[in-house]
Structure 1
Amino acid sequence: MYLCPQITTNDKTMNNDKKDKEVDIDDVAITLEVDSEVIDKVRSGEITHILLDIDENNQSLILENVDGNLILVTDEMPTTFHGCYLYNNGEFPYSIRGALDFLVLANENDNCLTRIIDVNTEPVKRFNYQGAGKPIVEDANGDSCVWEVSFEVVPVLVEPRYYLMRWNPSISSFTEKDFEKCVKNQVHGMFRINWSINEWEEARRGDIFYMMRVGDDKAGIVFNGQLISDPYPGEDWAGCTKRRMYVDLICTNASETGNEPIIPFTKLQEAIPSFEWSKGHSGVLLSDDIMDELVKLM
């Protein structure tokens, strides 16, 4: 883990896959000044969490607000003003900004766009609030605190590889009920699983995958996401003696249980008939030509 003390912004833009248009990076990200060593370790997976103390200077960048006024998520409103420092009996009383999806780690020599895949908060220093700009004097029983936010991140690769995973609920160890449970219990619109990958040799943390459901009338792409680990060996999911390679996945854009897939099999077959969608191993590398057509269907 690494503590980043400084937040800045810039005027970079990025492409938003969901809306297929460019958006201001400052609308969806915070830019952090960090050393090159930190960027290298985030890319390699040695650093997976970025820690920040929430204060008066960065509160509007991190917390949900209306014109700079923070939104409280509490059962009772406090009787005195605490700004971003309300202790609230140790329960986080604010909401992380909903549009905050990315962190940009940058310095004058390098930068790395990372996707936020989980957020946790905890109080790290209690005190009694004396007013904006006043010094903080620690008090173990104080009614205020400094909240630390921990962002779990995965790098967004400049040139990722794309993989097609296949899932047949009738034979997979990941059952229909498992899928329903994952969709129901999503956190920040995401859930995590691990999956076997056949063409694993070039796969790496940050690559992109699409999950293809096969074997029934609900066939099609049912969710997509990113690899959040490099491939690693494990026991065969079907219980035989064969060793398999697996990757950990963060899954997004899941179709609701019982609803039509994100991209039904019929549309895939019609748009890209040269590719065998319903048969084959899980974890196959998709060519650029296939991806060009697949993106048009998303």
Structure 2
Amino acid sequence: MSSFKILSSTRVTRQGGVLHRCQHQSNSTACDMMFAIFLPHSYHESSPTTPALYYLSGLTCNDQNFSQKAGAFLHADAAGLALVLPDTSPRGEAVANDDAYDLGQGAGFYINATQEPWKAHFQMESYIQKELPAVINENFPGINPALKSISGHSMGGHGALTLAFKSKISGETDWKSVSAFAPICHPTACPWGKKAFENYFGSVEIGLAHDATELLKQLAEKSLLYDDILIDQGLDDEFLKEQLCLDDFESTAASVGQTVTIRRHEGMDHSYYFIAACVADHIDFHAKKLK
């Protein structure tokens, strides 16, 4: 794609892993999009063998938060795993926004909006499911397009779960594995999700098609369950009860036969300290699935 640019490149592991920060013109979001990609030292352009883990960040974050705070590069380098780190929404002066932190720029919710003023740019589902993987495959030929998994935190955990489930149900994209850190598990039942769906879709009911707890039922009906899903959750997370609804997801998973490994951690909150404490296990989880 002619608009693709590598804006900066930084060696981030002693073994030779490199972080590129990139920009391109997106057809999905009709604006310039930023993303970062970590390439392990084992990456070679001439051989499409490197698997990739896509990580979706949460509310107010951009493509840089995970890179700067998660401490993941050493673990990913050892596992031979690329990390793809997209922004959380379209951005720019021409892009609709809201004064609140949980709507608009920085709060794309990884869906395709259908309502004004959002629908012109807020097409993050199409961007993550189709366009960004195509950009990666074209510009980083050492990435194996058939070997990709997805994870995320909070709003990004919602995105990871729902995009993975929806791709399995539709048969369009195959994310080999999925995990999440403190995900919004039942957005049609929490204030964050209700606000997003009312604005982006015009109703909470339409949001049922983008709700991980509801999508579990469709996965089971089509016999498309994952062999396991890894979720980490801090018990001192201030959003746990009102916004994340993990218990709803857990009970629905049990009812439909979906295995979920849920690890609840005393004393941990919703921050990147929590992510950094657990990220190595998520990298190992996905690396094993992507072999």
Band of TM-score, shorter chain: under 0.3
* Structure with more of its chain in strand, by fraction: 1
* Structure with more of its chain in helix, by fraction: 2
TM-score by length of 1: 0.26
The structure having more radius of gyration, on CA atoms, is 1
